Amino acid sequence: MSKVIIIDYGSQVTQLIARRVRELGVYSEIHPCQVKADKIKALQPDAIILSGGPASVGEEDAPKLDMGLLEIGVPVLGICYGMQLLAHNLGGELSQSETREYGPAELEFCGKSTLWNGLGKSSRVWMSHGDKVSKAPQGFDVCGKTSTLGIAAMCDEKRKIYALQFHPEVHHSLDGTAMIKNFLFEVAHLKADWNMHNFAERVIEECREKVGGGHVICALSGGVDSTVVAVLLNKAIGHKLHCIFVNNGVLRENEGEEVVNYLREHFDLNLKYVDASKLFLDKLAGVDDPEKKRKIIGHTFIDVFEQEANAIKAGGVSVKFLAQGTLYPDVIESVSHKGPSAVIKSHHNVGGLPEKMDMDLIEPLRELFKDEVRAVGAELGIPESVLWRHPFPGPGLAIRIIGKITEERLNILRKADTIVQEELRASGWYRKVWQGFAVLLPLKTVGVMGDGRTYESVIALRIVDSVDAMTADWSRIPEDVLAKMSTRIINEVRGVNRVVLDISPKPPSTIEWE
């Protein structure tokens, strides 16, 4: 099987490189920039890609390039910081740009390069850099420039080393995927021999081998991610998998019952329902800091799972593993586990884990994006009603209630959110958008209902379009649909007199409010 290794120098979009490669049918792995070249060589890669990153090559603590990577003998593509590393280490010269260049630029193909095969004379690309290559290393030809950048792309066709100052992996670079495709198939001559069917087969076999004679507890929320994990593991180890659904007290209306019913209806899962709502809500009482909410929920989840594991162990069963539906966006946004990227926020199943656990983690989806998970789910025969359920965060409504969590505020948000879901489905927009939900704000405003003055809560609508949750834009929902949501919420949810619409993209905002 063809394999591309991506060396991560800390870019927040490194995972998009892996995504583009896999979309083109080639298996890829991301490894941290601290990894040694001999370890990468042992993986027998067919090509190497050096990612972008936030550092400046000349800084004392900036990530370095292990020159052994260039001696493995496979094609290399450097992107942004990766290009600057190549230039710096191979005898070129760098300089600081007068201003940081961020945004679209017109790339002119000023020299021949295999990467440009099938393209025109120019292309719109996306720049994000502060430094630039002012002199290409010996053996490199300058093959791309912009109005502000004399060396926007360079290549050494003989050694098969290519470097781009822009980001071909982001969708703003119009021919970026074509350039990556040329690198994979025209330069490295790889085979498109990887797909979600192969992924599922590989993961099932790996999990079966890793678990051996042990048993696994699966943190099952009923969402797409944990359901796919459960079905994968069920195929791998059968009823040695112990699925546990925990009611944490911050679920949507009737969610616990609905989740348990459809999972038992569709799958032969070894499933236990645990009502820990009082435990969670007691620990969350009075807490308004979003990170503290996430940490509390993360730690409490693990406590509950360990208790359940101990109960199973008491019956003579050896429980050695905890399975979770962790995805790439969770990992990248939570911790700099692959490279020196900036931490944005913690996730309950990544950043909230205590230092010591009695179980090892199994996270078979941590290298995938949401749409890839759905593709795996389809391979496994999971029904569309489950696969296309909107993402719901592990901390649940706790991070959609801005401020302190109370039963009263939970009831308000549950009713409002139910109306949002109902109207999205009734209008046919549920499948068209990535995610839609209500947020309860920590303020009250004056209103008039009937002949009286009101002073009640505000609900914000957050409805977004996305592909993988790494970037998102607000959905252009028809005005009549929004109007119906607003009217119903104000009329039917006691305690609300105003509805507002969030029209912020990601970045700079996140999809969730906390």
**Residue ranges for the binding site?**
221-227
* Residue among 33, 143, 155, 167 flagged as catalytic: 167
Please tell me the distance from the alpha carbon of residue 337 to that of residue 363, in angstroms, as a whole number: 14
Q: Is 167 a catalytic residue?
A: yes
Q: What angle do CA 202, 227, 234 make, to 5 degrees?
A: 55
Q: Is 218 a catalytic residue?
A: no
Burial class (CB in 10 A: 0-12, 13-18, 19+), 479: exposed
In the three-class reduction of DSSP (H, G, I as helix; E, B as strand; rest coil), residue 15 is classed as helix
Nearest to 155 by CA among 237, 87, 226: 87
Please tell me the distance from the alpha carbon of residue 94 to that of residue 396, in angstroms, as a whole number: 47
* Residue among 169, 308, 423, 514 flagged as catalytic: 169
Residues in binding site for ATP: 221-227
Helix axes 407-427, 479-492, angle to 10 degrees: 150
Nearest to 475 by CA among 511, 442, 499, 441: 511
Helical (H) or strand (E) element with 446: strand 435-449
Q: Helix, strand, coil % (nearest 5) of the chain?
A: 35, 25, 40
* Residue among 80, 143, 155, 207 flagged as catalytic: 80
DSSP 185: I
User: One-letter amino acid identity for 254?
Assistant: N
Which sequence positions are flagged as catalytic? 80, 167, 169
